[in-house]
Structure formats: C-alpha cells, structure tokens
Amino acid sequence: MKTYLYTLLLFITILSCKKEHEQEHHSDAKSGATTIVDVIHYPQEKHLKNVKQLTFGGDNAEAYWSFDGTKIVFQANNKEWELACDQIYVKDLKPLGKDEIPQLVSTGKGRTTCSYFLPGDSTIIYSSTHLKSKDCPIVPKKEDHGGKYIWPVYDSYDIFVADLKGNQLKQLTFNEGYDAEPTVSPKGDKIVFTSTRSGDLELYTMNIDGTDVKQITHELGYDGGAFFSPDGNKLIFRSSRPKTPEAVKEYKNLLAMGLVMPTNMELYVCNVDGSDLKKITDLGSANWAPFFHPNGKKVIFSTNHHKAKHDGFNLFMINVDGTHLEQITFDGVFDAFPMFSPNGKQLIFSSNRNNGGGHDTNLFVADWVE
C-alpha cells in the first residue's frame, strides 16, 4: 500500500545536485529542464558509502532484511515480469542480472504489500488480497475525490505466511476489513500490524502464530507503518490524527469508502503495549516510513516537509525526543523505505535515483557511516 506514493512522483524533474563522477544529462522534452539521470550517490550523503543498486526497472520498495542479514524480501511491480500490480519477492544482496527475476514468494494473484521475515529466515509474512480475487483490485482515481491524493485501504487484505519457495503455509488474520502492514520484533516473539477491525485504522500486536491479538492504539486517525525498536520494547509508527471537525469528517468519510489521505502524517513512538505514547515530529506534510537507528535513540524516516511544493521525498533522521533533525539523502525526487541491517552496518532504501530520467523506483544498499 505504501508504494502508492509513487504516483506523486510522476513528471517531477531533478533540477539540481552534483555528483562525485561524470554525469549524463538529458533535456526533458516537456519542461526543457536539464535532468541528471545517473546519480547513485550524492556527495552530501555523508552517512552513506559504497552505495550499490540492486534492482533495475519497475517499482521496487519496502525491502526488509532477514534476521541473519543475508537476504531481503520486497514488493515489486514490473511489467517485464508480467505483473499487473505488486507481488512479493526474496533475493540475496547481489544486483539483479539482466533479465533475471528473483524468487516469487506470494501467490502471484491479487495485490500484495508489506512483507517481512519471520524468525529462522525460512518463512515470511505478507499482506495480500488474493482470497477475494485473483485480479488486482481497482485503484481509486484522484479525479473522483476532488483531485486529492488518496490511498486505498482494501478490506480484502489479510496476512499470510509463505516459505521462500512460494509455498503458502498459513493465514494469520481472518477478520472482515483491512489487515496489513505486518512487521516482526527483533526478539522474534511479536508481530505488529494495522487493522480496521475496530472501525478505525489502529495498531495491533499478535504472537508469531497469530494468537493473543491486542489493540495498541485507540485514537481516531490512521496508525500504520509500525516497526519495533532494536530491543523489541518500543514501536515507531506514522499517524494522521485529524483534530478539527472538518478534518474528522473528511477522514471518516474517506475511511467509509476504504480510503485514507496520507498527506499529513507525523511520527509517534510508544511502548509495545501502547503506553507512554509520544509524538516525535511536528513538521507538517507527510512524514512516514520510520525505522529505528541501531542505537534505539534515533529514527530514520522519509519526508517531504522540506520541499516548497512537497513534491519530493528524502530520508531524514531525528532523535526519539524530537531533537536534532538531520537530512540523510538528497535525491531530487524520491528516497524512502529505509531499514538498517540487523548488525547496523548497512542501510537499504528505495529511490528514484539513477533511473534514466523515468519513473522507476529501485532498491539501493549502502554502508552506514556514523
């Protein structure tokens, strides 16, 4: 579901930023602007080195490490792979070769999102709509909603377990409504996910086997994209918390249609049981895809708050107390979905960099420099 932010990025031109080696320039036929199309590592990105591109075409996002740090699981939509919408794949850390397709682990039916390794690295969880239909669900059009940017919250999403060969092993959620966005604690004992089972988009935890489901958040608004802290004791997540009567009405009306408008989200942190809830950003616009720094005291996330027209996303880092905001990446269009490797030495993320001036979103991995 998170990959719908890509639609914001169409026709955005990279207008600036220098590169460490020779650049290739092209003229954009529509705007006449000069675009840089081959940047892999911007010189301002001092926390990154040895940046390596892993995929080369299509939309590739939400890449998350195995517990042993040798593999990733991710979602992709690539017409050359004969896909109509996102499916889940697993691979090692080697760049994909020409015409190479990684191992499919979802069913290849419906739409999928939000995959994650389970303890032992032999199975993964992911969200899928395939039980309702083998076809991709209809994507709502902005024109039908006043031109506003919206996400569908498909009530056909449930959470499943599969092995690394694509054998479907188990269904974990059975409630009516949206169940998706699962991630796993580093302790290997809990899953956190987002569900509409209460009538609102709230966070829940459950055991690895799907038992002992507990509601974690209780305030009106979309709570999602949650991740555990390195010690497994806290959660970081994004949230839209409407406050005015107008905002509350709009949120409820959209949710009744299975939609949310993710253009105003801030980051929150709480204990795993939902206690000690704290808002850690107040930046305005869209702040999302947060992940804890290995020391548990900082959070890396994607935001467009710094863009005058909010027309591009970069990675930033902030302390969990809301201090010391620092920009990490500098692509002119889109950087998001950051995740530190289990040993804290590498960062994987998605970006529109080095895509020939097109709209492909690819996976990149880099060594992390403090």
Element (H, E) at 303: strand 298-303
Q: Hey, what's the torsion of the CAs at 33, 12, 311, 321, to 10 degrees?
A: -100
Report how far residue 168's alpha carbon sits from residue 162's, in angstroms, rounded to the nearest whole number: 4
Q: How many CA atoms lie within 13 A of 4 on its CB side?
A: 21
Q: Report domain extents, the chain.
A: 2-368
DSSP assignment of 248-279 equals HHHHHHHHHTTEE-TTSBEEEEEETTS-S-EE
Q: pLDDT at position 37, please?
A: 56
Q: pLDDT at position 147, please?
A: 85
CA 272, distance to chain mean position in Å, is 20
Residue 5 has pLDDT above 60, yes or no: no
- Tokens representing residue 363 in the block: 């996976």
CA 5, distance to chain mean position in Å, is 9
DSSP assignment of 277-297 equals -EE-----SBEEEEEE-TTSS
Residue 76 has pLDDT above 70, yes or no: yes
The mean pLDDT value for 154-170 works out to 98
For residue 263, give the nearest of 314, 203, 305, 325 by alpha carbon: 305
- Tokens representing residue 30 in the block: 């529509």
The mean pLDDT value for 286-312 works out to 95
Q: pLDDT at position 210, please?
A: 97
Neighbours of 141 (CB within 10 A): 9
Residue 9 has pLDDT above 50, yes or no: no
- Beta carbons of 343 and 40 less than 8 angstroms apart: no
pLDDT in tens, 137-161: 999 988 888 888 899 999 999 999 9
Neighbours of 279 (CB within 10 A): 12
Neighbours of 70 (CB within 10 A): 12
pLDDT in tens, 324-348: 999 999 999 999 999 999 999 999 9
Work out the mean pLDDT of the chain and round it to a whole number.
91
CATH number, domain 2-368: 2.120.10.30
